[in-house]
Structure 1
């Protein structure tokens, strides 16, 4: 009788362990899905508080990659990282006026570069070809629109319409000393 109870307890413990996943870690690992293209990004705000005097926005470009769409903001000045803030928002607002910038897509990504698009004399260092279409993203999988939200009091803002609230990453590339090229890069994944 005692053997039956011990045997029953062993079987019961085995069933509980199986249910909790202690016996078969392979089956638990098999149920998890691998990240899209190996990307480990999220959709929470990203930023840098780096402060560098003398950097100015000189261009905005976009490109398509196998797993993400890329937006690049080119800056000119001392080869050092610039501050930035990139986040999903309910609406992107025009610098100086606060007017809502209309954006295509299912989500609005606000890109703020802590550098102006004008020099120390107030002359423009970058003027978009169109405020509503800063770069042509027709045919992109994730980026729906890139709009100009202005450059005011030392910062430049772009509104990026994306297909949905998708994972992204943000980083700066700093040129070699004497290169005077700094790039703020925003990659938005095609899917989760």
Structure 2
């Protein structure tokens, strides 16, 4: 007789556990917006002769996007290092470039913001606010960290340490449309 109550208890617990497990929706395991990006550094090295021509940003349903417009002799670009860092340092001086947010992303491009004669190809109107991202979901600040010895660095302040991706878009030959570096940072994990 003692075996029957014990057996009923085990069956009851199994039934309750099954109900609890089945109550969790299948989508709870799905990634946010289907995003499967990570947060590790993204680096590409290729010989390029591009220059920074502009910086802009856009808001999307699942992520915020930063775009660096490039120009020069090629229609492709592939030399960058984008990663989370404790602090972004200014090119040349090494001074800290503080940005708002819970995490800092350093965007380093092997592309200067000047031509072969030293003439500026891009000059931010406000070094601390290159693009206005006030009130955005993920981006908190885009700051200029300088262009020195053939490299340009940006400090991207984001809400938190979130997944991101980096890719390039080719330019159009024989046009003013040069290649672009695109950085998307998800709104959530």
TM-score bracket, normalised by the shorter chain, equals 0.7 to 0.9
Count, aligned residues: 169
Alignment RMSD (CA, Å):
2.0
Q: Which runs of 5+ in 2 are unaligned?
A: 1-13, 15-20
Matched, 1:189 2:172: no
The offset of 1:31, in angstroms, is 8.4
Alignment partners' CA distance in 2, 1:29 and 1:91: 39
Matched, 1:86 2:82: yes
Alignment partners' CA distance in 2, 1:187 and 1:31: 23
Aligned positions of 1:1-192 closer than 5 A: 30=26, 33-53=29-49, 55-77=50-72, 78-179=74-175, 180-192=177-189
Q: TM-score, normalised by structure 1?
A: 0.83
Tell me the SS of whatever aligns to 1:37: helix
The offset of 1:129, in angstroms, is 0.8
Preserved contact between residue 115 and residue 155 of structure 1 (Cα < 8 Å): yes
Structure 1 residue ranges, 4+ long, deviating more than 2 angstroms after superposition: 26-32
Preserved contact between residue 79 and residue 178 of structure 1 (Cα < 8 Å): no
Alignment partners' CA distance in 2, 1:38 and 1:95: 36
C-alpha offsets along residues 142-163 of structure 1, whole Å, 9 cap, x if unaligned? Answer: 0000000000111100000000
C-alpha offsets along residues 4-60 of structure 1, whole Å, 9 cap, x if unaligned? Answer: xxxxxxxxxxxxxx9xxxxxxx9699486100000110100001101112x110100
Cα pair distance change 1:38/1:121, threshold 3 Å:
same
Q: TM-score, normalised by structure 2?
A: 0.84
Q: Which runs of 5+ in 1 are unaligned?
A: 1-17, 19-25
